Structures are given as C-alpha cells and as structure tokens.
Amino acid sequence: MIQMRDKAGRNPIDISCHLGFVNITLYLQMKMGTVCDMIRHEVNVDDSGNNCYHIMCYRGQYECLISLLNFERICLKKTLSD
C-alpha cells in the first residue's frame, strides 16, 4: 500500500509531505527505508519528476523536511555506532 500511486504518480508519502503531516510522514519514511535510499533510487518520483523533498520545499513544509533529515541523521549515527 505504501508504494501505491494515484493518477499523477504520487504515493502516500508525497501526499503527507504536501499536507505537512509530520507524524504520518515519519511513519511512512520508516516503512520505506532511509532518506538516502529515497534520494538515490527512483522510489519516490512522481510523473513530473519530483520527489517528496521537492514538494516540501515548494510548499514550505519545513517542519516535515527538518523531521525527515533528523531521522536520517539518527539512522546514520546508529549505523556508525553499530
């Protein structure tokens, strides 16, 4: 269900980022993988070539953006400490 897309090619994390739902975005992020996975791979690109980071910056959803980047920082710390 996380990978399902609508007619414009958006998945649930795109829509939650668009609306600024921080908790839902973090939950979906944990289920989809790390932020680096989403940026490197074409996992989260809609039909117009935008990913959720483009959407957050365009809409001014900076709280979501900061939360996702902090999530990645925590994942990197955990990986380096293990």
Indicate whether 56 belongs to any domain: yes
Indicate whether 5 belongs to any domain: no
- Cα 82 to Cα 79: distance, rounded to the nearest angstrom: 5
What is the extent of the structural domain holding 75?
Answer: 12-81
Indicate whether 6 belongs to any domain: no
Indicate whether 70 belongs to any domain: yes
Indicate whether 2 belongs to any domain: no
Distance from the first to the final alpha carbon of the chain:
31
Position 43 scores a pLDDT of 60
For the segment 64-78, the average pLDDT, to the nearest whole number, is 79
pTM: 0.67
Position 38 scores a pLDDT of 60
Residue 22: closest CA among 65, 58, 64, 57 = 64
pLDDT of 82 above 70: no
Indicate whether 57 belongs to any domain: yes
How many domains is the chain built from?
A: 1
For the segment 42-65, the average pLDDT, to the nearest whole number, is 80
Indicate whether 52 belongs to any domain: yes
